[in-house]
Amino acid sequence: MLLEKHTLIHLQEIKSKGRDTPYYWIKAAEAGTVPFTARYVIGADGAMSSCSLLSGLRTKQPGPTGYGLSRFSETGDEKINPGTLTFYPLPLLGGAGWSFHGSNWINQGVGGLVKLKQLKKAYNHLFRENQKKLKPVSWPLTFLGPLKRAGRDNLILAGDAAGLIEPFSGEGLYNTFKSAILASSALTRAEMENKEAGEVYNNLYREHFRKAFIAVLAGAVLLHGRSVIYPASLPRQIENLIENRLWFNRPFP
């Protein structure tokens, strides 16, 4: 079951003598939602993940965070080729602005390591033509790295919920997809080898994310320093990062 646009308020692991394996009792806040049970749970509910708190994998909300701020809308502008990516260096805010174009849509936003109020000013400055349209949506960027553990028993955390934000660019989709593949592999192996999915996933998570994070964080600090001194280098470094050409990031096996 894929549960979207619901607020998780109760998550309880139940172990009973009448069942060979434990299961989870889950309840959402929305009116009319019926509680249900599941053998496995994958929490992919973002940086402020309720699943991580209720499962005990995180004891409190993340500390210092950055923020992203963007707006996705349709456009009839045919002058810009689909697939065009434009970056706007914002080194003093610890981040950048972007404009991504599709065939009939555009995603414009900013991200950085400062307060949301400062990012809103940067957004309004870069995209003045959109100020009277729909307001941008914001979200936290947990740039301080992966959790110590992202799995417990048969519960797994993926994406932002597991702290998988790339600390220089603030990009999270690559690691989200990567963790989803690892989660799927963990569930399959758990079934085949009669193990807990969390145990299998933690080993994969440690190998692919935690082991390399110190190098990734060091690289991010160096790149931030370079972008302050030489802002024009930021778009090129983001391109190198995306293509896994920097010394501290490696391609997905």
pLDDT in tens, 99-109: 888 777 888 99
pTM recorded for the entire structure: 0.83
| pLDDT for res 76 | 59
Strand arrangement, sheet containing 105-112: 85-90, 95-101, 105-112, 66-74, 137-141
Q: Of 68, 41, 71, whose CA–CA distance to 57 is shortest?
A: 41
Average per-residue pLDDT for the chain: 85
Strand arrangement, sheet containing 155-157: 41-43, 155-157, 151-152
Rounded CA separation 4/17 (Å): 32
| pLDDT for res 231 | 84
Q: Comparing 67 with 239, which gets the higher pLDDT?
A: 67
Contact criterion met (CB below 8 Å) for 83 and 101: yes
| pLDDT for res 187 | 95
Host H or E run for residue 66? strand 66-74
Q: How does residue 132 score in pLDDT terms, banded at 50, 70 and 90? A: low
| pLDDT for res 162 | 93
Other Cβ atoms within 10 Å of 149 Cβ, number: 18
Report the pLDDT averaged over residues 49-72: 86
Report the pLDDT averaged over residues 67-75: 85
DSSP assignments along 82-143, one per residue: TT-EEEEEEGGGTEEEEEEE-SSEEEEEEEESS-HHHHHHHHHHHTGGGTTSPPPEEEEE-T
Host H or E run for residue 10? strand 8-14
How distant, in Å, are the alpha carbons of 96, 134, 244 from that of 175? 19, 29, 13
Please write the tens of the pLDDT for every residue from 152-197: 999 999 999 999 988 888 888 888 999 999 999 999 999 999 999 9
> Can you list the domains of the chain with their CATH numbers?
8-62+144-238 (3.50.50.60), 66-141 (no CATH)
Report the pLDDT averaged over residues 77-88: 72
Q: How does residue 252 score in pLDDT terms, banded at 50, 70 and 90? A: very low
Torsion angles phi and psi, residue 107, rounded to 5:
-120, 115
Q: Of 56, 54, 41, whose CA–CA distance to 190 is shortest?
A: 41
Contact criterion met (CB below 8 Å) for 44 and 26: no
| pLDDT for res 3 | 66
Report the pLDDT averaged over residues 17-24: 75
Q: Comparing 139 with 247, which gets the higher pLDDT?
A: 139
Q: Comparing 97 with 3, which gets the higher pLDDT?
A: 97
Report the pLDDT averaged over residues 206-216: 89
Q: How does residue 134 score in pLDDT terms, banded at 50, 70 and 90? A: low
Q: Comparing 59 with 41, which gets the higher pLDDT?
A: 41
Q: Comparing 164 with 65, which gets the higher pLDDT?
A: 164
Q: Is pLDDT above 90 for 144?
A: no
Alpha helices in the chain (DSSP H): 50-55, 116-126, 173-193, 197-205, 213-229, 234-242
| pLDDT for res 60 | 80
